[in-house]
Amino acid sequence: MSLDPPDPRGVDRYVSTGELPRPRAVTHLVDDAHRMFRGVDDGTVSDVYPALARVDPDSFGLCVTASDGTTYEAGDSRVPFTIMSVAKPLVFALVCQEVGLETVRDLVGVNATGLPFNSVQAVDRSERGRTNPMVNSGAIATVSLAPGDSPESRWRFIVDGLSRFAGRPLSLDEETLASALATNHRNRALAALLSSVDGLAGDPGDAVDLYTKQSCLSVTAVDLAVMGATLADGGVCPITQERVIAPDVARATLAVMAIAGLYETSGDWLVDVGVPGKSGIGGGIVTVSPGKGALGTFSPRLDQAGNSVRGQLAARYLAHHLGLDLLASQPVQPAVSPA
């Protein structure tokens, strides 16, 4: 059921518009953010998978990509790392594009759990195990809907789609994948629990394997910024000019990112940053300002919720100074009456 009332004028809905400051200002601000926060050593590197613990904890890269494809970088912006949970909203978008938003919404849910990203309790206490696509259980349910007649064809759908978001072919980090497949017992338990309450489509083992593989794709902060800018531009990749998803799917994706993109700290994020974001335990965060562009950050030191410490600081600073915050406004200046 559509919640949009009919428009008697027959015109499209109004949408967010705007642009980034002038290029020189953006360059200076990105450099400033890197300089200001590169010395912050709070947080710890994830050891959820053994391979993640071997990442250089001092890596720190930033990239802003405007919706026209203009890119601004600082630090380790092209150092590869595993995408981990930053893949979740993008796979959600690809699956929604293929099978429909309401199909995904009915199986997965969209509401915040208020619990950690790998919580079993979140599945156990909800009807049919429904959570949201930004936590592990919901992401496993989402990928179980990926089209294809075999695990291989479904994987090709995912990796091709994520590559189209990034504007370049993406590849697997084989070391991290092997580490994850050997130790992802909790995710297999989540999938089995979902399957027991009809909260999963297809085989739970296949769903976990696909979810694990999507998490182990190798990306950079530049890739995250381009992927985010694709969402910011209503589904068109700014590098290739290819439409990856439809505008309504891009909007729904940004909505679920705003709801639970930083897990149980998503409310703090929205108050501090004011735009949709998604973090991953590999150290990446993508921050999206619709109509303007996106910020990709990489720093593997995480807080207790699994979010990059430096990435959050940089996002807060740049959202304010670049005008990314969707919730901020200025008083309308009163019109001057003619003399």
Q: Do residues 320 and 274 make contact, with C-beta atoms less than 8 angstroms apart?
A: no
At residue 321, the pLDDT reads: 95
Q: Please tell me the predicted confidence (pLDDT) of residue 3.
A: 43
215: Cβ–Cβ under 8 A, 6 or more apart, which residues?
Answer: 82, 83, 84, 85, 87, 180, 280
Of residues 36 and 10, which shows the higher confidence score?
Answer: 36
Q: What is the tens place of the pLDDT at every residue in 155-198? A: 999 999 999 999 999 999 999 999 999 989 999 999 999 999 99
Q: Go through 221-257 and write b for each residue having 16 or more CB atoms within 10 A of its CB, e for each that does not.
A: bbbbbbbbbbbbbbbbbbbbeeebbeeebbbbbbebb
Share of the chain above pLDDT 90, in %: 81
Q: State the angle between helix axes of 151-166 and 221-232 in degrees (0 to 180), rounded to the nearest 10.
A: 90
Are 220 and 61 in contact by the 8 Å Cβ rule? The answer is yes
Q: pLDDT digit string (tens) for 82-116? A: 999 999 999 999 999 999 999 999 999 999 888 87
The yes-or-no verdict on residue 334 having pLDDT over 80 is: no
| Residue (of 260, 270, 335) closest to 305 by Cα position | 260
**Average pLDDT of the residues in 11-16:** 58
- The per-residue pLDDT for 278 is 98
Q: Which two tokens stand for residue 106?
A: 């009915």
Query: What confidence category does residue 252 fall into, taking pLDDT thresholds of 50, 70 and 90?
Result: very high
pLDDT at 127: 83
pLDDT at 271 over 70: yes
For residue 304, pLDDT over 50 is answered with: yes
Overall pTM surpassing 0.85 (yes/no): yes
Q: Tell me the average pLDDT of the chain.
A: 92
pLDDT tier at 333 (50, 70, 90 boundaries)? Answer: low
Write down the domain spans for the chain. Answer: 23-321
For helices 309-321 and 23-37, the axis angle rounded to 10 degrees is: 150
39-90 per-position pLDDT tens digit: 999 999 998 888 899 999 999 999 999 999 999 999 999 999 999 999 999 9
pLDDT at 7: 45
Per the CB < 8 A criterion, the answer to whether 252 and 101 are in contact is yes
130 by DSSP, 3-state: which? coil
d(CA 108, CA 328): 31
Structure tokens at 175: 């070391």
Instruction: Give yes or no for residue 8 having a pLDDT over 50.
Output: no
Convert 176-202 to b/e letters by CB count within 10 Å (16 or more is b).
bbebbeeebeebbbbbebbbeeebbbe
Residue 13: the pLDDT is: 55
- Residue 5: pLDDT over 60: no
User: What does the pLDDT read at residue 124?
Assistant: 81
| CA dihedral sign, ordered 179, 146, 80, 256 | negative
CATH pick for 23-321 out of 3.30.70.580, 3.40.50.2300, 3.40.710.10, 3.30.70.360 = 3.40.710.10
Q: Which token pair is 45?
A: 């590197």
pLDDT at 120: 80
Q: What is the C-alpha separation between 115 and 122, in angstroms, rounded?
A: 7
State yes or no: pLDDT of 298 exceeds 80: yes
Flag whether pLDDT at 247 surpasses 90.
yes
